[in-house]
Amino acid sequence: MSTFPTPAPEDVVWDLPGDLPHRLSLLVLPHAGGNAHAYSAWREHLPADVRLLIGQYPGRGARFSEDLPESVDDLALPVVDALPADTGALVVLGHSMGSLVAFEVARALQAVGRTPQGLVASACRAPVLPNQCPVHPERLDDDELVAAIKERGGTDDGILDDEELREIVLPSIRADFAIDDAYRCTAPAVRLDCPVAVFGGDADPIVPVDMLDAWSLVAGHPVVPEVLTGDHFYFQQDLPGFFARLNPVLEALHASAPSNA
């Protein structure tokens, strides 16, 4: 990416600690077109000793003036570089395209001896598979792209219906969907050294439930998806219910790590 100075770490990774010293950090990577603010409400649903970290991609928030991302590396590597040194036990979670970013973050951390304690993938194909439901943003004018975004959900329609706000958010959404369309991990060694958990919605038209167990291809173990009621953004329909399923998974990932054996 380019010409802009390196962003401040706190602009790349939001840090939302709980009220107690953290024993676990949860790093969340947003969906295509998403931003850190969209996940800040997760803080109130996590235990007080779980620190919430949220990635902020280029082209939004305090990173608005940066060049738009062109690859998953443009999304993932700045997050790796900006992670606080004192994360301690770390679980990386992504939603939709964010799961692919989370996978690349986990791979990058693993490569430098900082393997996370777990990866949680939500509503996303396995990284070794091609995108079976591409958006092709390069073929769509603004109105067509807005219609495609509304069909997928996850973005406030009020923003998409306001012409000035739409002009602000559409470039980053276009960039993200182009990355998601093209991404496929073809590296010879794609298996992670940490456990992998997978979530999805039972009525997700983008990533049907029967696609989720393909994450076993990168997990090195059979994956049994946690399936909740809802569509591609199933957790938005019942956030407390989602965390009732997620928090025990986080606890199990933390407890299963060698350092906690």
Q: What residues are annotated to the active site?
A: 96, 232
Q: How far apart are CA 72 and CA 60, in angstroms?
A: 16
CB 97 within 8 A of CB 69: no
Angle made by CA atoms 127, 128, 130, in degrees to the nearest 5: 90
CB 201 within 8 A of CB 88: no
Quote the distance between the C-alpha of residue 167 and its chain's center.
24
CA dihedral 37, 38, 39, 44 (to 10 degrees): 80
Pairing of strands 13-16, 50-55: antiparallel
- Which secondary structure element, helix H or strand E, spans residue 228, and what is its range? strand 226-228
Q: How far apart are CA 170 and CA 187, in angstroms?
A: 31
- Adjacent-strand bridge partners of 199: 122, 226
What is the number of residues in the chain? 261
